[in-house]
Structure 1
Amino acid sequence: MSAGELDRTRTVTPGQLARQRRRESWARGWRLFRANRSGLVGLVVLGIFVLLALFAPLLASADGLEVTKATGGVLEPPSSQYWLGTDDNGRSVLTLLIWGSRISLFVGLSATLISMVIGTLIGLTSGFFSGWAGALLFRLTEWFLIIPFLPLAIVLASVLGPSLWNISFVIGVTSWPGTALLIRSQTLSIRERAYLERAKVLGAGRWHQIRKHILPNVMPMIFANTTLTVAIAILSETTLSFLGLGDPSRISWGTMLDDAYTVGAITTGSWWFLIPPGVCVVLVVLAFTMIGQALEEVLNPRLKGR
C-alpha cells in the first residue's frame, strides 16, 4: 500500500471503510452477473412479470374478474376486443392472466420466505451444535426428506382449508429440508476453520460466532438458493391450485389451468384458455432458475472460472 493510500485509510472511520468495501463487492458482483447472459435474460423476464403484477390495476380493470360483469361469450376465441379470448364465464383471459400474476408471485415469494427462514435456522443449529439438539434436527430434516412432498402438501392443504395464506404456509413448511441440508453442510465446513477457533479462544460465545462469523459466510448461498426455491414454490402453487386446493376466491395461473381442464379446454380446442397461463408459469420458473444459476456462479468462487 502506498503512502497516499495509507493516509486516506487513516482518515476514514471503520464504518465508512466497511461500507466502501460493501459497495465495491456489490459492484464486482453486478459486473460478474451482467457477464452471464442467461442470468441477465432471466432478470429481464422476471422484471416484466413483476411490473405486470405491480401495475395490474392500471393494465386491466378488476371488474373483469367478476362473473356477473363479464361481457364476452363462452370460450370466445381471440379477437380485437379480447386479445386472448374469453373463459367459460365470458371473462377476458388476458385480464385473468394479468391479475393472476399477482397471486402466483405472492404465493411463491411468501412461501419461499417461510421455507428459507425455517431451513436456515434448522441448518445453522444442526450444523453448529454437535450435541443431541443438532442430531435431533438433522433427523427431523431427514424425516421430511423421506416423505414425498406432494402427498404431504395435499394432506396439509386439505386439513387447513383452501386459503391463500394456508397455501403459502403449506408450501413453505414442506420445502425447507433441501435448504437446511445445504446450510448445514456449509456450517460444518465453516465451524472447523481457523478464524472461528481464534474467536473461541478470544471468548466469543456460540451465538456471537453464529451471528458474526457463520451467518455472513452462508448468506450468499442462502441468497442464491432463494431464487431457485421461488421457482419450486410457484410450481407447487400451480400444482395445488390445479388439484382444486387453491383459494377459490382468488385468480392465479394455477386456478386458470384448473378451470380450463374442468371445462374441457383441451377437447374443445380452446387453446387460448389453456396455453397462456401454462406459458407464464414456465417463463417465470425458467427466469428464477436462470437467475439462481447466475448468482451461484457469482457467489461461488469455484464456479467463476467455468
Structure 2
Amino acid sequence: NYDQFPKDFIYSYLLEYSGSPLLQMSVIRPDGVRLELVSTSLPYSNLKIIHNDRIFSTDIMIKKELGLQAEKFEFEIDRLSVEDIIFSKTELNKPLKGNYVFFIDFYEINKESKIIDSKLIIGGKAFGIMGTDELRRDLAIGLLWGTPLALFIGLVVSIGSVVIGLVYGIYAGFKGKKTDETMMRFNDIIYALPALPFLIILSVTISNSIFVMTGFLMIFGWVGIAKVARSMSLQIKTRGYVEAATIMGQRDSKMILKHILPQLLPYAFASIAISVPAAITTEAGLSFLGLGDPSFPTWGQILHDANTFGAASRGLWWWIVPPGIMIAITGLAFVFIGNALDSIINPKLKR
C-alpha cells in the first residue's frame, strides 16, 4: 500500500537436500496475475547437504523470466527494473496496491529434503536513522557496534605494543653491551619490515580473525616504543641513585621496577593514547581490502561492503561518509588526548 515501488527484494533460504532439486519462485499479484520469477536447479550432491543461498531481485534470471511474460503488460517492460514490473499495474507503470503472495516450490525425486529456513525481505526506500546496506542491515546499528570494536582494537593494540616495547627497551638499555646490541639489531630488523604487506600476507595465510589481527598489529607496533624506552633507560641508569643501588647489590629487576620504570610511565600513557588511531586506521584499511573479520561489523568492514556493492557510483553517501567520519573523529580524539598528555609530561613543549 505504498505510492512508490519497492527498491528491491531478497529471498533467503536454508535447505537440506540430496540430488539436484528444482527451485521455482512465483508471485500472485492483487489483480490475480501470476508471474513466474525463478526456475533453476540447485547444485548436485550425492550426500545430504545443507544449502544456504539468496536470490536477489537484481539477478538476471528473474529479468529473463519476466521478459518471457511481457504480453501480460500493456507497456514496454524491457528497460524497467524487476521491482517496477512485478509491483506495477498491467495497463500503466504505476504501483499496484494490495496483497502479493510469493510461492517458493522445491521439486525433487526423493522426499528427504527439508526447508530449514525461508524468508523474503522487501526493501523500501529508507529505513533507520542512516539507511540500510545492500543486505538490508541498519547502518546505524553497524556504526554503534563498530564503536566498541574500534576501541577494543585500538586500546588492546596500543597497550600491548607499549608494554612490550617498554619492557624490551628498558631491559636492552639497562643491560647494555652485547645484550643491548643484539636486542637492538633484532628491533631494527622488525622495524625495517614493511608492515602492511606483511599484515596482508599473515591475514591471508593464517587467519583474518579480529583477535589474530590484533596480535599481528602488536607485532609491528612495539618497535618504535622500544627505541625511545631504550634511550631513556640509558640516560636514567647513569644517574647517581641507580649507580648507588648497583653498588649496594640490588637485583636488576628491582632497580628496573623501582628506579627506571616509574619514570617512563608518563611517556607510556601518552604513547598509548597516540598509538590508538594508528591501530584503528590499520584495521580499517585491512578490512576495506577484504582481509578483515566478516563476522564483526567494524567500520572498515562497512566501507568494504560499500565498495563491493558500488555505493560510491550509486550515490549512496550514507553508506560511506558516516564510517569515515567515525574513524576520523576517534583518531583525532586520541591524538588530542595524547598531545595533551605529552604537554603535561614535557612542559618545555608548551613554549
Taking the aligned partners of 2:257 and 2:119, their CA distance within structure 1 comes to 54
Please give the TM-score of this superposition, normalised by the length of structure 1: 0.73
Counterpart residue type for residue 116 of structure 1: V
- Would you say the 8 A contact 2:191–2:220 is kept in 1? no
* Superposition deviation, residue 174 in structure 1: 1.1
Match of 1:73 in 2: 123
Q: How does 1:247-266 map to 2 (within 5 A)?
A: 247-266=293-312
Match of 1:294 in 2: 340
Taking the aligned partners of 1:102 and 1:294, their CA distance within structure 2 comes to 23
Taking the aligned partners of 1:275 and 1:253, their CA distance within structure 2 comes to 11
Match of 1:63 in 2: none
Q: How does 1:120-131 map to 2 (within 5 A)?
A: 120-131=166-177
SS at structure 1 position matched to 2:244 = helix
Percent identical: 37
Is 1:203 the counterpart of 2:249? The answer is yes
- Would you say the 8 A contact 1:246–1:255 is kept in 2? yes
More deviation in 281-290 or 190-199?
A: 190-199
Deviations 1:264-288 (A, max 9, x none): 1110000000000010000000000
- Would you say the 8 A contact 1:70–1:91 is kept in 2? no
Match of 1:165 in 2: 211
Please give the TM-score of this superposition, normalised by the length of structure 2: 0.64
- Would you say the 8 A contact 1:114–1:173 is kept in 2? no
Name the larger-Rg structure: 2
Match of 1:117 in 2: 163
Match of 1:101 in 2: 147
Q: How does 1:232-271 map to 2 (within 5 A)?
A: 232-271=278-317
From the two aligned structures, give the one with the greater helix fraction: 1
Aligned residues: 234
* Superposition deviation, residue 104 in structure 1: 1.5
Picking from 190, 193, 201, the partner of 2:239 is 193
* Superposition deviation, residue 71 in structure 1: 6.3
Taking the aligned partners of 2:120 and 2:186, their CA distance within structure 1 comes to 50
- Would you say the 8 A contact 1:70–1:89 is kept in 2? no
* Superposition deviation, residue 297 in structure 1: 0.5
Taking the aligned partners of 1:240 and 1:179, their CA distance within structure 2 comes to 23
- Would you say the 8 A contact 1:224–1:296 is kept in 2? yes
From the two aligned structures, give the one with the greater strand fraction: 2
Taking the aligned partners of 1:93 and 1:70, their CA distance within structure 2 comes to 20
- Would you say the 8 A contact 1:115–1:176 is kept in 2? yes
Deviations 1:117-167 (A, max 9, x none): 221121111111113222111011111111112112112222221111111
- Would you say the 8 A contact 1:257–1:277 is kept in 2? yes
* Superposition deviation, residue 192 in structure 1: 1.3
Instruction: Identify if the C-alpha distance between structure 1 residues 70 and 288 changes in structure 2 by more than 3 Å, giving closer, same or farther.
Output: farther
* Superposition deviation, residue 102 in structure 1: 1.8
